[in-house]
Chain A
Amino acid sequence: MAGVTLKDIKKVYPFTSEDKKAKKRKKKKGEIEASEKKVNLQITEEGVVAVQQFSLDIADKEFIVLVGPSGCGKSTTLRMIAGLEEITSGELYIDGKLVNDVAPKDRDIAMVFQSYALYPHMTVYNNMAFSLKMKHVPKAEIDKKVREAAEILDITEYLHRKPKALSGGQRQRVAIGRAIVRNPKVFLMDEPLSNLDAKLRNQMRAEIIKLREKINTTFIYVTHDQTEAMTLGDRIVIMRDGFIQQIGTPQEVFNHPANLFVAGFIGTPQMNFFRDAELKKNGDTYSVEILGKEFVLPEDKQEKLRANGVEPGKVIAGVRPVHLSIADDGIAAKVDVSEMMGSELHLHMDVNGSDVVAVVPTADLGDSMISSHQDIGFTMKPNLIHLFDPETEKSLL
């Protein structure tokens, strides 16, 4: 069990000779700028930058989740911690020891892969015992550890089967079992649930939470699914284009997103953004005008705006769909689509040509349902409004 520290980690994939030739060809044709804009990664003279300025302190026994869209560098970061990718610059410490040049097998880590990466020619037992055999652990001890892990994961009856004879969920348990028999200092998981169907994913998510309570070690978990991130992590690291966007507890990133990207990425359905909102100041009092309605901000937000010296003017206002409520005297809207989700109703509304989504608990509606093409009004609580700078996209609060 140990903490992990990453100090200003950077990963650059140097250009291969083919890349250089392709670049020259494109440069001749004048296509270079267009093609570079298509990908999220930064292309520099050194090569393709996958991760940069990555600094993070992970405490012992902490469950940290790296989350972000495809190509944001989260898996690369995890692979660097595992020792499967070289670190271009920066320092990586596991349990206080610098491990930049330490081989994966000597880092005392275990990793669960997205594709399970089970050895297809070995039985479940041998898959789980492989790492212990490599360490020349006595046979009796291997047997004890494998059976204990199998017991925890409820896979004892499959020990003599080969991976191809198992279902997706069972394979994932074996992959986790293979990692826990080693009793590692750090447990790395690279999108372990993304190959499972929705039902099994929910079930396995709960099992990972239980497993964490049982084995109580440091977990670093990579996912692109923000629900997984929110439910599993003690802290969440949100990444984009190789940079950390925000580090915080699930509540922090949900309630106080650091920028527009985090605000949009965390939360389902996505936060509504009102790009033509205007921040006003009457004496010492800030208010925000959204779609023609003025909302006076609560005192805590006033203080933050004053402390940050925010000047009135155009801002981007953000409100989560769950924080919108139906009000007859509110902002007028026309329901485009009404989606009945059981306990809640998702309303996709058209407000002066822009799309706004509201989530309304069906219990609040009683017998009167809101159907598509219906004209309604909605409002929002001023304390749940987020404000962002239109230029830097950073939170103003």
Chain B
Amino acid sequence: MRKLKSDAPRRRRISLFTVINTILLCLVAFMMFYPFWYVLTGSFMSTDESVTNVFHFVVRRPTLDAYKTFFSSVDVGRHFLASFYASVFGMIISLICTSMAAYALSRRGLPGRTLVMKIVLGAMLFSGGLIPIYMVIRNLGMINTWESLWVPGLINLYYMIIMRTYFHGIPEELLDAARIDGAGEWRIFFKIVLPNALPILATIALFYMVDRWNDLMSGIIYINDVNDQPLQAMLYRIIQNQTGLAGSPVSSTVGTMRVTSETAGYAATIITMLPILCVYPFLQKYFVHGMMVGSLKD
């Protein structure tokens, strides 16, 4: 039987747009990935190789020297603890406060809700500024404490608005059902609202965690004792030393680092990135869902 023309498998035509698009996206992906790859491979290089092999893709003679030097010269544990405290404990407190504020502002019955939202939006546009915030922190007696790493940004208003949008989507009937079932407002919040908001909680938790983990300025501004500063501040001082700023007061802390190559800096960067890289895959599914909040009809 003669095969009909329409039955023949069609050859998929690739348009010029698809080709250019793919090339562009590959370039962007490369630009994103290469700095990470550069630092990762650099951290496994010897001092000599890093000097000769400036623009590199692979390591010829991998070594853990940079890591050894880094761990032997810096009290990573204390810096790590500071970052961990701000990122995990601070994140939990921030998440509780943000979700409570967002829930309250998402309910129609709240008197003065519009006014509060206007103040919130105003505060987003015109923040207090560094010096007034510093003065508040100083007057609260929080200078040189780890609380200063998360208290100033306890509620991120942008995250609060994202959460509020999500809470808007929780049907009022669900809350009414809980009210009739005998639950009070606190129980409704913790037993009904929060368990139904896991995607947005995970997303905002990740946001807070990454923000606090990567926060350099708070550590430098509010904590004078270099031994108490978080990881990012330590990393900053290591890089300062590499770029000839060794005369700074930090040089004593990372004294031995001065004589090593920049590979130790790469090792430090990788060490500081690791915790977030470990957490991200577990939160990713919630993260993507949370980013889509309000964009599609359920």
User: Which residues of chain A are within 8 angstroms of B179 by Cβ–Cβ distance?
Assistant: 83-84, 103-105
A170 in contact (CB, < 8 A): no
Residue of B180, B183, B196 near A111 (CB, 8 A) is B180
Complex contact B173–A115 (CB within 8 A): yes
User: Which residues of chain B are within 8 angstroms of A134 by Cβ–Cβ distance?
Assistant: 181-183, 187
Complex contact A117–B196 (CB within 8 A): no
Distance in angstroms between the alpha carbons of A135 and B180 in the assembled complex: 12
Complex contact A110–B180 (CB within 8 A): yes
Distance in angstroms between the alpha carbons of A115 and B181 in the assembled complex: 16
| Most chain A CB within a 10 A radius of its CB, from B179, B181, B195, B196 | B181
Complex contact A117–B114 (CB within 8 A): no
Residue of A105, A114, A120, A121 near B180 (CB, 8 A) is A105
Distance from A235 Cβ to chain B, minimum over Cβ atoms (Å)? 24
Distance from B172 Cβ to chain A, minimum over Cβ atoms (Å)? 9
Interface residues of B in 162-212 (CB under 8 A from A): 171, 173-174, 176-183, 187, 192, 195-196
Interface residues of A in 126-181 (CB under 8 A from B): 130-131, 134-135, 178
Complex contact A18–B181 (CB within 8 A): no
Distance in angstroms between the alpha carbons of A105 and B177 in the assembled complex: 10
Complex contact B181–A121 (CB within 8 A): no
Distance in angstroms between the alpha carbons of A131 and B192 in the assembled complex: 13
A315 in contact (CB, < 8 A): no
Distance in angstroms between the alpha carbons of A120 and B195 in the assembled complex: 9
A17 in contact (CB, < 8 A): yes
User: Which residues of chain A are within 8 angstroms of B171 by Cβ–Cβ distance?
Assistant: 115, 117
Complex contact B182–A105 (CB within 8 A): yes
Q: Mark A324-357, 1 if CB is under 8 A from B, else 0.
A: 0000000000000000000000000000000000
Distance in angstroms between the alpha carbons of A104 and B178 in the assembled complex: 10
Distance from B180 Cβ to chain A, minimum over Cβ atoms (Å)? 5
Distance from B171 Cβ to chain A, minimum over Cβ atoms (Å)? 6
Q: Mark A43-83, 1 if CB is under 8 A from B, else 0.
A: 00000000000000000000000000000000000010011
Complex contact B176–A113 (CB within 8 A): yes
Complex contact A119–B182 (CB within 8 A): no
A263 in contact (CB, < 8 A): no
Distance from A163 Cβ to chain B, minimum over Cβ atoms (Å)? 11
Distance from B141 Cβ to chain A, minimum over Cβ atoms (Å)? 41
Complex contact B192–A119 (CB within 8 A): yes
Interface residues of B in 217-239 (CB under 8 A from A): none
Q: A17-B114, A18-B114 are in contact. Are A119 and B174 (CB under 8 A)?
A: yes
User: Which residues of chain A are within 8 angstroms of B195 by Cβ–Cβ distance?
Assistant: 121
Interface residues of B in 239-296 (CB under 8 A from A): none
A109 in contact (CB, < 8 A): yes
Complex contact A131–B181 (CB within 8 A): yes
Q: Mark A85-115, 1 if CB is under 8 A from B, else 0.
A: 0000000000000000001110001110111
Distance in angstroms between the alpha carbons of A109 and B181 in the assembled complex: 9
User: Which residues of chain A are within 8 angstroms of B114 by Cβ–Cβ distance?
Assistant: 17-18
Q: A17-B114, A18-B114 are in contact. Are A117 and B173 (CB under 8 A)?
A: yes
User: Which residues of chain B are within 8 angstroms of A120 by Cβ–Cβ distance?
Assistant: 196
Distance in angstroms between the alpha carbons of A120 and B194 in the assembled complex: 12
Give the B-binding residues of A (Cβ under 8 A).
Answer: 17-18, 79, 82-84, 103-105, 109-111, 113-115, 117-121, 130-131, 134-135, 178, 182
8 tightest CB-CB pairs across the interface, nearest first? Answer: A134-B182, A131-B181, A117-B177, A105-B182, A117-B173, A121-B195, A113-B173, A104-B180
9 extra interface residue pairs, beta carbon distance < 8 Å, beyond A113-B176, A119-B178, A130-B178: A83-B180, A84-B176, A113-B177, A115-B171, A117-B174, A120-B196, A131-B180, A131-B181, A134-B187
Q: Could you show 7 A-B contacts with beta carbons less than 8 Å apart?
A: A17-B114, A79-B176, A83-B179, A105-B179, A117-B171, A117-B177, A130-B183
